[in-house]
Amino acid sequence: MPQQSRRSFILAAGAALLAPRAFAAAPSTVLPRVASVPGGVARVRLGAAEQAPVAWVGEHRVLVQREGGEWFAFVGIPLSEKAGAKLRLQVHRAGSAAETLELRVGARKYATQHLKVPPSTVDLSKEDLARYERERARLAQVIATFTDSAAVPLAMRQPAPGSRSSSFGLRRYFNGQSRNPHTGMDIAAPTGTPVVAATAGRVLDTGDYFFSGGTVILDHGQGLLSLYAHLSEIDAQAEQLVAAGEPIGKVGATGRVTGPHLHFSVYLNTVAVDPALFLPPEPAAR
Ligand SMILES: [Zn+2]
């Protein structure tokens, strides 16, 4: 068993948010905005080394990038984590013993919404439930993809024009029954609006899913994935390489939705994190 040293970690969570305005001038270097909170991204300094350290949270590899001569891990924190919880980051460096870093999870409150609806509109038929279960297993497998890649394009662009919802993490209760929290950002746009790759990557999966309808999933390397759902048209094929801003489909209302919009999710180490952290600030409405 490798000898392990432990040290507590105080993260500079929110440092980027508190920085003076001048610091925010170069979005490509400050994205993602880091915040060690449920649904957030923690940035953990791993120090200087010739070779990239390899880091894990549980059984999942974590994204590690070099910045200014030092290595940093970017860790997606599950929405299900509680404030005050500690995540354990296992770090393996070439030629030295494994180390465990503790990552304290801060607080972020997400909204809840209680809805009363006729049971028939939320209860799935036996067939739909079976389909959903199959698709859930497949999606979980796709989202666990970890592709080695030296430079991961972390800064993203909004994949479709339109106003963004702030409903990431929103937990809905239908007739008192809790549903999974909302794992993405909804962008309001009419059917047919082009959807582009938020950043450069490879098409990992396309398909028609029960809840998410026409769906494209991109692999940006080292467990950073983006997902585009409810598409009316898919203009991408598995394994295809796409540049940032390259069209991959069109906005639609496929799957379980009440109207056309783009659902946009971002995953890190299999965890859905707030896509807004990867995007430049939304232009102020006028
Ligand atoms: Zn959505």
Report how far residue 286's alpha carbon sits from residue 279's, in angstroms, rounded to the nearest whole number.
Answer: 20
Question: 78 alpha carbon to ligand 1 midpoint, in Å?
Answer: 17
Question: 185 alpha carbon to ligand 1 midpoint, in Å?
Answer: 6
| Token pair belonging to 214 | 């026409």
Report how far residue 147's alpha carbon sits from residue 144's, in angstroms, rounded to the nearest whole number.
Answer: 10
Question: 219 alpha carbon to ligand 1 midpoint, in Å?
Answer: 20
Report how far residue 155's alpha carbon sits from residue 20's, in angstroms, rounded to the nearest whole number.
Answer: 20
Residues 6+ positions from 189 with CB-CB distance below 8 Å:
160, 161, 162, 251, 260, 261, 262
Domain range annotation of the chain: 5-104, 126-164+185-278
Question: 221 alpha carbon to ligand 1 midpoint, in Å?
Answer: 23
What's the pTM value of the predicted model, to 2 decimals? Answer: 0.87
Give the β-pairing of 262-268 and 271-273. Answer: antiparallel
Backbone angles phi, psi at 112, to 5 degrees: -125, 155
Domain 126-164+185-278 top-level CATH class? mainly beta
**How would you write the pLDDT of the chain (286 residues) with one tens digit per residue?**
333 333 333 333 333 333 333 333 434 347 899 989 999 999 999 999 899 999 999 999 999 999 989 999 999 999 999 999 999 999 999 888 899 999 999 999 999 989 888 877 778 899 999 999 999 999 999 999 999 998 899 999 999 999 998 899 999 898 888 888 999 999 999 999 999 999 999 999 999 999 999 999 999 999 999 999 999 999 999 999 999 999 999 999 999 888 999 999 999 999 999 999 999 988 776 5
Strand order in the sheet with 63-67: 41-47, 70-76, 63-67
CATH code that applies to domain 5-104: 2.60.40.1590
Question: 66 alpha carbon to ligand 1 midpoint, in Å?
Answer: 33
